[in-house]
Amino acid sequence: MNVRRLIPTTAVAGAVVLGLTALSACSTSDAADGGNGDKLKVTASFYPMQFLAEKIGGEHVAVTSLTKPGVEPHDLELTPRQIGSISESDYVLYLKGIQPAVDDAIKQSGVKNTVDAATLTTLENHGSEVSGHDHGHEGEEHADEHGHEGEEAHEEHSEGDGHNHGEEGGADPHIWLDPVKYAEVAKGVGKSLEKADPDHAADYKKNTDALVAELGELNTAYKTGLKNPATKTFITTHSAFGYLAERYGLTQQGIAGIDPEAEPSPARIQEIHTIAEKEKATTVFFETLASDRTAKTLAKDTGLKTGVLDPLEGITDKSRGADYIEVMESNLAALQKALGAK
């Protein structure tokens, strides 16, 4: 087990210190540096942030991700060169609480245009078992609210929220796996880029609107595709899908909590076996960036199938799609098959 996964970090979100309010302090000359001739130098913490920066920034930004493809983002350790590159950035986009090393480096970097994606939506607590109902209407209201007020600090997040996959006392950071919440974040990122580089504000708004529409179509595909499942329960080695489960009325059963490579206890294996029988679950899902050993062990012990459900923390040659949208579509197909949805 990787001990670093168990270390709680500082608040995932709170009154925004490094967030969007800092953008108001950006002078016109600071913004112009990124807009006149040179591209805005953007540093993204890991793939979900990189995808937003590239889609919304388009031709006006040069995006560097701190997490290379194939690297498990939670365990990232930065090189001195990477730490230096953060300080030289015009704009930094990250998700506080996912990567402690990144949080520390950003705090010390002094970069004015620093945006914490966790402040652009509402985080929730999710345990290893997460169920919910379709909050489509509620999500649309949130999206609209944050779209107009994304630059304001949202203070409903309690201090002490850390990256612990919804273990007791902490908020679940996996907001990008819910297309509605991801769209809320996209709107906030778009607003912040408009402020950081006003010369290209119209393009950022146009790109944001296009991405939000694309995420809206993805949300519709999930709602339609998962409307009538034979079972609503899915089992996963990585308890990353709490927001997705809640959005579409499903129940996530995590095998071993926060560490996707941890060996489940005999008691938990028996519990999962009982749940699988009761809820008619068919599949144990593992992820692309971690070993499938736990999933295969459990499947063998319980007679279940194995499958891939990608938490989209990085894109590699093994990913079932070239980008966020394609991999989310693959996840939908995998869920439909496992849940017997038609």
Q: What is the pLDDT of residues 216-251, one digit of tens each?
A: 999 999 999 999 999 999 998 878 999 999 999 999
> Could you tell me where the DSSP H helices lie in 110-265?
136-149, 179-196, 201-225, 242-247
User: DSSP code of 124?
Assistant: B
Q: Please say if the pLDDT value at position 128 is more than 80.
A: no
Instruction: Please give the Cα distance from 238 to 308 (Å, whole number).
Output: 11
Across 237-304, where does the E strand assignment appear? Answer: 251-254, 283-286
Structure tokens at 64: 């560097």
| pLDDT tens-digit series, residues 315-337 | 999 999 999 999 999 999 999 99
Rounded alpha-carbon distances, angstroms, from residue 177 to 155, 241, 328 = 22, 7, 8
Inter-residue contact 175 to 13 (CB < 8 Å): no
Task: Calculate Rg over the CA atoms of the chain.
Answer: 20
Burial 158-172, CB ≥16 within 10 A → b, else e: eeebbbbbbbeebbb
Rounded alpha-carbon distances, angstroms, from residue 203 to 27, 58, 141, 191, 199 = 20, 8, 25, 11, 9
Most trustworthy range by pLDDT among 75-84, 185-194, 227-236, 292-301: 185-194
Predicted local confidence at residue 130, as pLDDT = 52
Q: Please say if the pLDDT value at position 47 is more than 50.
A: yes
Angle between helix 28-35 and helix 179-196 axes, rounded to 10 deg: 110
Q: How confident is the model at residue 175 (pLDDT cuts 50, 70, 90)?
A: very high
Q: What is the mean pLDDT of residues 153-182?
A: 61
Residue 201: Cβ-neighbour burial (10 angstroms; 0-12, 13-18, 19+) = middle
Q: What is the mean pLDDT of residues 182-196?
A: 98
User: DSSP code of 92?
Assistant: E
Structure tokens at 22: 């800092």
| pLDDT tens-digit series, residues 56-89 | 999 999 999 999 998 889 889 999 999 999 999 9
Amino acid (1-letter code) at residue 81: R
